[in-house]
Amino acid sequence: MNKILVTGGLGYIGSHTVVALQNAGYEVVIIDDLSNANVDFVDRIASITNVKPSFYEIDLKNQEKVNQFFRENKIDGIIHFAAHKAVGESVEKPLMYYRNNLVGLLNILDGMKDFNTDNIIFSSSCTVYGQADKMPIDENTSLKKPESPYGKTKQMGEEILEDFSNAFNKKVICLRYFNPVGAHSSSKIGELPNGIPNNLIPYVTQTAAGIREYLSVFGGDYPTKDGTAIRDYIDVNDLADAHVLAIARLLENKNKTKLEFFNLGTGTGSTVLEVVHAFENANNIKVNYQIKERRLGDIVEAYANNSLAAQELNWQPKISLTESMLTAWEWQKSI
């Protein structure tokens, strides 16, 4: 049985990916520093799959601890989620983002080199494209300067992985997510933001739950059908499935080049107001919102051309926005 290390495996996308990996028959070991995750997710995952993943609380910036982990665990493949990911916070604390996101990655790569792990999936983001000139965005779309230090750490991470792959003959897939939404159908795992949510859907669900007075819609004057910005909202369970397909591609040596990139989105753009109304209609609940100024650093529009992932990973998103809004609300009500 292949043993897969999932860093950040107690986080939002990480925990859903651990469930999907276990259901696919992989042995999973998690490293998480619990800076943006809850240790009770280990038991929550086990309650879904009936298999308790082994868990190490390690800060990936601690190279000695990382090396100790690799000495104790023979790892066949790595899915690397562990990173800080709040766009706004990264603007306020760039050095913390560069240190955490890049040193953590470098220590993992040193471990791969020194302990003979050949396969890694990197959690990247559509933010590396900046505001792309044309839609939908495909993997050949030229990268622009990201709007935030968070986005720059993703772009730098991809560049580091290119040189790492070439120098040490390692197999790498970078998965560029669009906007992850939804929760597991069991309502045992989901998005658990610390403090005031940065992302749209947790803010919507907390508003519906009465935790927030109203949702601020950042910008009503964009050049779009209803004046609000467009994104590609992809269900987290579909994202998790793509990670299982991607790690299998590397383990079975089906990759065409040592370094590959895949966009993970639905291929459909939705405005902020379309998402709010989808949530209201799915759950038959009203969401108070007010149109406010645009948020600094936001782009107008981003949605994916996902045909390369369909062709090479045999991956198709299956879960509709409505279904994602239902699971997001069920999860919010359960916490």
Do residues 245 and 313 touch, judged by C-beta distance below 8 A? yes
Which of positions 274-313 make contact with ligand WQD (CB under 6 A)?
295, 298
Which of positions 175-204 make contact with ligand WQD (CB under 6 A)?
179-180, 198-200, 203
Instruction: Work out which of 16, 80, 85, 184 binds ligand WQD, going by CB under 6 A.
Output: 85
Kindly state the smallest distance separating residue 79's Cβ from ligand WQD, in Å. 15
Q: Which residue has the tokens 């929550």?
A: 44
Query: Which of left, alpha, beta for 248 (phi over 0: left; psi -120 to 50: alpha)?
Result: alpha
Q: Which residue has the tokens 């639905």?
A: 266
| Bridge partners, 278 (sequence order) | none
Which residue, 269, 280, 283, is CA-closest to 231?
269
Closer Cβ to ligand WQD, 271 or 283, answer by number:
271
Binding of residue 58 to ligand WQD (CB under 6 A): no
Closer Cβ to ligand WQD, 111 or 151, answer by number:
151
Active-site annotation holder among 56, 150, 203, 233 = 150
Kindly state the smallest distance separating residue 215's Cβ from ligand WQD, in Å. 6
Tokens representing residue 287 in the block: 């969401």
Rounded to whole angstroms, the Cα distance separating 44 from 32 reads 15
Residues touching ligand WQD, count (CB under 6 A): 19
Map residues 202-231 to x or -, x wherever contact with ligand WQD holds by CB under 6 A. -x-----------xxxx----------x-x
Kindly state the smallest distance separating residue 229's Cβ from ligand WQD, in Å. 3
Tokens representing residue 207 in the block: 């508003």
Q: Name 106's Cβ contacts closer than 8 Å, sequence gap at least 6.
A: 160
Do residues 78 and 119 touch, judged by C-beta distance below 8 A? yes
Kindly state the smallest distance separating residue 174's Cβ from ligand WQD, in Å. 13
- Largest Cα–Cα distance in the chain? 55
Do residues 29 and 2 touch, judged by C-beta distance below 8 A? no
97 is catalytic: no
- Judged by the rule CB under 6 A, the positions of this chain that interact with ligand WQD are 85, 87, 125, 127, 179-180, 198-200, 203, 215-218, 229, 231, 272, 295, 298
